[in-house]
Amino acid sequence: MRYTLEKSCHSVYGLYYHLVLVVKYRRKVLSFEIIERLKDIIHSVAIDFDVKIIEQEGDKDHMHILFSCKPTFTVTKFINSLKGVTSRLIQKEFPEVHEKLWKGHFWSPSYCLLTTGQVSLDVLKTYIEDQSDGKNI
């Protein structure tokens, strides 16, 4: 089993997250132009947090973001900043979103965050099970 790993002074790691942000009330306000602008904003926020964006794409009412980070990273600070900055800038630059959204809300207050890896859970479970030579049991 081969991993692509990052290194720091005292650790070797491969931390990957899949984040899904949903527009408030599932309103279909994300046009192609807004999605492209969101991607730019997300990249700039990620740079500030030393986060690597691996992939991102959106549909009319949500965004998917796949990213990697260091073990010392605080995920909730990044997500809160990401939601705040993107909300402010999109509402400022695309005033038409106010027709479907109001009171300054853009994203739903909740989000979906999943950890992910470079192999499936089944493969990893089998790998760990195979580590025992039977003598320690």
Q: What confidence score (pLDDT) does residue 132 get?
A: 62
Domain 9-129 has CATH 3.30.70.1290: yes
Q: What confidence score (pLDDT) does residue 125 get?
A: 77
pLDDT under 50 in the chain at which residues? 137
Active site residue 127: yes
Per-residue pLDDT tens digits for 106-136: 999 999 999 988 777 787 778 767 876 655 5
Q: What confidence score (pLDDT) does residue 9 get?
A: 87
E strands of 60-105, at which residues? Answer: 62-69
Active-site residue (options: 3, 25, 111, 127) = 127
Helix axes 75-93, 32-48, angle to 10 degrees: 140
Q: What confidence score (pLDDT) does residue 122 get?
A: 80
Q: Return the DSSP state at 96.
A: G
Closest CA to 118 of 29, 48, 14: 14
Q: What confidence score (pLDDT) does residue 102 get?
A: 82
For residue 107, CA distances in Å to 49, 87, 130 come to 20, 7, 44
Per-residue pLDDT tens digits for 93-102: 999 998 899 8
Residue ranges per domain, the chain? 9-129
